[in-house]
Amino acid sequence: MSTPIKKFDKLLHGGDYNPDQWLDYPEILKQDIELMKKAHVNCVSLGIFAWATLEPEEGKYQFDWLEEVINNLYKEGIYTVLATPTGAMPKWLTEKYEEVRQVRENGVRNLSGGRHNFCYTSPVMREKAKAIDTELAKRFGNHPAVILWHISNELGGNGSDASCHCPLCQEAFREWLKNKYKSLDALNHAWWTKFWSHTYTSWDQIHSPAPNGVNFIHGLKLDWKRFVTAQTLEFYSKECETVKKYSTDIPVTTNMMEFFQCLDYFKFKDYVDIISWDAYPSWHDGKDDIDLAIRFAACHNIMRSIKKAPFLLMESTPSLTNWKPINTLKRPKMHMLSSMQAVAHGSNSVQYFQWRKSRGASEKLHGAVVDHFGKEDTRVFKDVTEVGTRLEALTDRIYKTINKPKVAIIFDWENWWAIDDAQGPNNIDMKYVETVTSHYKAFWQMGIDVDFIDMEQELDDYKLVIAPMTYMIKKKFGERVKEFVKDGGSFVSSYWSGIVDETDLCFLGGFPGIIGEVVGIRSEEIDAINENYPNSIHYNNKSYEVRDLCDLIHLQGAKAEGYYEKDFYEGRPALTRNEYGKGMSYYIAARTSDEFNRDFYGNLVNEIGIEKNMNINLPYGVTVAKRVGESEDFLFVQNFNSSPVSFELDKKYEIAEDGVEVSGKLELEAYGCIILKTLK
């Protein structure tokens, strides 16, 4: 369970605040606090990119302005999430010490400038980070207004591969490998280096993957990615240690990003007290917003699942982004809906980037609560105020509730890396994330909460585990699945599963237990189909289109429940079911459509008795998420359609905010979100 924020047992509402940009504008700083109060802001994040202002010269600290800001806010009841400022380095640091700047994959060291581009291995960088973190923690670590440490910012967000390829990192990588493999023989076998004479005969021959170097040894590439996560975590952990040393009861977090492939966020589980992340959905960029809503619901679920605890929405835009291809305004009500969606899935905050639009540089046109005009009479300011008001009304009751799913979908970073790095069968896009979210879609549509976990988590909490495209099967996961199904769990697997082990070596002589034994099939070959070779599967007297990938399998104990309908594998099994122990397992052999997933999972949840959050069929584009509390549960009924919907409720509820009773037909406006309460 997540460490609670002891000083602040409420839902947070506020966001990134960069007063360091406005120190020459005292009237602005004053106006900020007035406006924050009007907008029901109770908490801001400070100092994220302020290193140059906090330490204008090496070793010369200038913190008074920060203290004044914190105090002024605190006087008005506004708390501070305090950042360590390592997200961007000051010029004196990058110019004096070259080693702190990252080296790109092509071997070229960055110039000064930009952000998230420090070498996480560099002793100088670690020392300089420690120095300023120490000073910050000493000065503010026990300040009553400071409730949370915001360590660095969007780690790995260097706009490239999140990596530094400098000599220091090469050396650290070699040490990390020595520690992992002990001998070169073990490493050479694990990486299958006899391929193209890549055998390493000395540790110092090892270099990070590079387009003009080793680029086809997937074991190396996987391990490099693991190392990057580990080394980033090490840097991050040292910052945590520093600030915790001088502060009491202040938990740490670091803000994560949307399906960020470069860092394995599950590895942060034990090093972050409360998970936080930055969500920037491109609302209104498609025909409708449903699939995007589902993608972000999945993201929120991942964040909640890392620690199985409430998380923080640390950044979101109150209006629009400025860095997407086309930055469309949020339609009326969307800001409320999008904010409540986060809370519905377990967020204990709605925080924005940023409070006030910068005056210059590249984020000046990014949406903020206060614009350059500077007044409160804008649509955005009113939207934000409404969210603040609503959060405030519910804050004590929602704060300690959490979603408690009985369904888990496996989403595993290392598997994702391995799938995307492999050559074949489809090199355009293997669509791992898209596939995982397409399975989730069926549950979202039914109003069933789902956890997203990786192969290293326990399965005990669940009745149903879905493992799409587990190309890599980690050893312990195989064992855990066996136990899970033996004990009565239901397990769904799919095509492109069980191919390789953790070092990307193919299983020989048949796939390991999980597919052969639990699932009861053998895959012979996989057909990557293009638009000229359409296919479909027959299931429950209905035909469903499939696309992209069709696995040709043999039954080894399982029974076929669906069949291919076309091509030379017409009539061969495409969906199988296998009883195993007290449980059962399914194998979906081809990439199925939303329609199939809806029908298949609809039948499955009925069969195994998983309850929907509301016992009805929800209209298209509407979902219900449930936060469970000790005495009351909250149902977040969300309509992501741009038109109103209505449907019959299964029973009586109360409106969470005012206790008004509702039953019969529920009307939801376009982009509407109603919070209902059920009593235990």
| Binding residue numbers | 115, 119, 153, 164, 166, 169, 323
CA distance 580 to 587: 13
Site string for a copy of itself, 267-296 (x = CB under 8 A): -----------------xxxx---------
| 582 binds a copy of itself, rule: CB under 8 A | no
Query: Would you tell me how many other CB atoms lie within 10 Å of the CB of residue 59?
Result: 10
* Distances 326 to 239, 285, 332 between C-alpha atoms, Å: 37, 8, 18
Let me know if 315 is a catalytic residue: yes
CB nearer to a copy of itself: pick between 261 and 378: 378
Contact 588, 623 (CB under 8 A): no
Rg (CA), the chain: 26
The yes-or-no answer on residue 154 being catalytic is: yes
Which residue do the tokens 């669509």 mark?
431
Residue of 59, 113, 123, 571 that binds a copy of itself (CB under 8 A):
113
Choosing from 6, 38, 75, 106, the residue that interacts with a copy of itself (CB under 8 A) is: 106
Q: Measured between alpha carbons, how far is 149 from 370 in angstroms, rounded to an integer? A: 25
Q: Based on the number of CB atoms within 10 Å of its own CB, is 428 exposed (0-12), middle (13-18) or buried (19 or more)? A: exposed
- Reference 510, options 495, 525, 499, 518; nearest CA is 499
Mask: binding to a copy of itself, 294-333, rule CB under 8 A, as x and -? -------------------------xxxxxxxxxxx-xx-
In terms of CB distance, is 1 or 428 closer to a copy of itself? 428
Residue 196 binds to a copy of itself (criterion: CB under 8 A) = yes
- With contacts defined by CB under 8 A, name the span among 107-115, 223-231, 605-613, 656-664 that binds a copy of itself: 107-115
Q: Does 424 bind a copy of itself (CB under 8 A)?
A: yes
Listed residue (288, 255, 322) closest to 15, CA to CA: 255
List, as residue ranges, the binding site for substrate.
115, 153, 323
Closest CA to 409 of 473, 459, 479: 459
183 binds a copy of itself (CB under 8 A): no
Which of 219, 346 has the CB closer to a copy of itself?
219
Does 547 bind a copy of itself (CB under 8 A)? Our answer is: no
Q: How far is the CB of 197 from a copy of itself (least distance, A)?
A: 4
- Give the C-alpha separation, 31 to 36, whole Å: 9
d(CA 111, CA 27): 36
Nearer to a copy of itself, 96 or 476 (CB): 96
| Catalytic residue, candidates 99, 154, 561, 565 | 154
To the nearest whole angstrom, how small is the minimum distance from the Cβ of residue 164 to a copy of itself?
13
- Interaxial angle between packed helices 290-307 and 334-344, expressed in degrees from 0 to 180 and rounded to the nearest 10: 30
Residue from 74, 124, 134, 425 in contact with a copy of itself (CB under 8 A):
425
Give the whole-angstrom CA distance, residue 384 versus residue 118. Answer: 35
* Window contacting a copy of itself (CB under 8 A); options: 102-110, 385-393, 452-460, 629-637: 102-110
Residues 46-65 vs a copy of itself: string with x where CB under 8 A? ---xxxxx--xx--------
Selected from 295, 307, 335, 357, the binder of a copy of itself by CB under 8 A is 357
Closer Cβ to a copy of itself, 57 or 396, answer by number: 57
Alpha helices in 51-161 (DSSP H): 51-54, 64-75, 91-96, 123-140
Length of the chain (residues) = 680
Cα distance between residue 352 and residue 590, in whole Å: 41
Cis amide bond preceding 644, omega within 30:
no
Residue found by looking up tokens 């919070």 in the block:
675
By beta-carbon proximity to a copy of itself, the closer residue of 300 and 357 is: 357
Q: Contact with a copy of itself (CB under 8 A): which of 41, 70, 82, 89?
A: 89
Instruction: Considering only the stretches 239-247, 362-370, 538-546, 605-613, report the one whose residues sit in contact with a copy of itself under the rule CB under 8 A.
Output: 362-370
Q: Which among 579, 656, 667, 577 is positioned nearest to 622, based on CA atoms?
A: 667
Binding mask of the shown chain, residues 403 to 422, with x at each position contacting a copy of itself by CB under 8 A: -------------------x
Amino acid at 323: W
- The secondary element (H helix, E strand) that includes residue 238 is helix 218-245
Cis peptide before 354 (omega within 30 of 0): yes
The CB-of-260 to a copy of itself minimum distance in angstroms stands at: 19
Q: Give 98's contacts (C-beta < 8 A, 6+ positions apart).
A: 109
In the window 623-652, what residues touch a copy of itself (CB under 8 A)?
none
Q: Binders of a copy of itself among 386-405, rule CB under 8 A?
A: none
Only one of the segments 86-94, 237-245, 305-313, 570-578 lies at the binding site for a copy of itself (rule: CB under 8 A); that segment is 86-94
Which residues in 369-388 contact a copy of itself (CB under 8 A)? 371-374, 378-380
Binding mask 202-231 for a copy of itself (x = CB under 8 A): x--x-x--x-xxxxxxxx------------
For residue 36, the one-letter residue type is M
> Which tokens belong to 218?
């997937």
Residue selected from 42, 84, 122, 193 as contacting a copy of itself according to rule CB under 8 A: 193
Q: How far is the CB of 44 from a copy of itself (least distance, A)?
A: 17
Count of positions on this chain that bind a copy of itself (CB under 8 A)? 118
Q: Which residue in 55, 99, 239, 315 is the catalytic one?
A: 315
Task: State whether residue 496 is helix, strand or coil.
Answer: coil
Cβ count near 382 (within 10 Å) = 12
Residues numbered 495 to 514 that lie near a copy of itself (CB under 8 A) are: 499, 503-510
Q: Which residues are catalytic?
A: 154, 315
